[in-house]
Amino acid sequence: MVKPIKILDIISGKLQPMSKEEVVKSIGYYSTKKGLKTLETFLMHEDIYAWVESGYRDSKYTAVEFLSKLCEVLDIDAARWSNELDKDRIFVQEAEKFRSTHISMNTTNPYTFPPGVSFDMDAFEGVRILERPYIVELVGRTDKEIFILISKIIKEHYADSDGRIFPWGDIVSYVYHHSDEKSYLFDIDGNQIENI
């Protein structure tokens, strides 16, 4: 499936051959300096959702009003940018429920250190937590699809780490902490063993 082009990219493309001074005048700015500053600030955002959520406001427009006027001048349909905003809002709301999801590892046989070498294992607690799954990988998926993804991540991690993590030792199992606030135990082959 081809991802739709983001509105900010369309706006940037349409602005390329145009005089930005003329654009901000067309939007309704009497001071091109203020209009150019707002346009520049707008273009620095990742997308229109980030722009709207920034709460930006100048002496003439709010972030939404500026976006609306700019799209009108550039002949971009209001429904199109509005739909993108709605989709991004829904994504953010869905993503919120996955903020605490993560995969941790259970280990055995920690590394041993020579006598006289002190080592604070607590400082390395974070290495037992995988950086994945990324929230973007979870949003919009069913639990079944998520558990298939978790299994894949576990298999990949175990293979990539050769089954050991410093300083904790051999990985014996993985625990997936899901958005339902339950934990699920997986073996090193990515098979779900039980709910914890």
- What's the whole-number mean pLDDT along residues 115-129? 77
Q: Which two tokens stand for residue 17?
A: 């051959």
Q: pLDDT of 75-109, one tens digit each? A: 999 999 999 999 999 988 888 888 889 999 999 97
Cβ proximity of 168 and 124 under 8 Å: yes
Asked whether the beta carbons of 111 and 170 are under 8 A apart, the reply is no
Specify the pLDDT at position 48.
95
Assess contact for 165 and 178: CB atoms under 8 A. Answer: no
Q: Residue 110 belongs to what H/E stretch?
A: none
* % helix, strand, coil for the chain, step of 5: 50, 15, 35
Mean pLDDT of the chain: 90
pLDDT band at 116 (very low <50, low <70, confident <90, very high): confident
What digits encode the pLDDT tens for the residues 129-138?
888 878 888 9
Q: Tens digit of pLDDT for each residue in 141-192? A: 999 999 999 999 999 999 999 999 988 889 999 999 998 889 999 999 999 9
Tell me how many helices (H) and strands (E) the chain has.
8, 5
Could you report the per-residue pLDDT of 4-59, keeping only the tens digit for each? 789 999 999 999 999 999 999 999 999 999 999 999 999 999 999 999 999 999 99
Strand, coil or helix: what is 72? helix
What 8-state DSSP symbol labels residue 169?
E
**Residue written as token pair 């602005």:** 15
| Structural tokens at position 1 | 């499936």
pLDDT at position 115: 77
Is there a contact between 173 and 107 (Cβ–Cβ < 8 Å)? Answer: no
- Helix 78-96 / helix 63-73 crossing angle, nearest 10 deg: 140
Instruction: Band the pLDDT of 1: cuts 50, 70, 90.
Output: low
Look up residue 35 and give its two tokens.
């209009």
At 2 the pLDDT is: 60
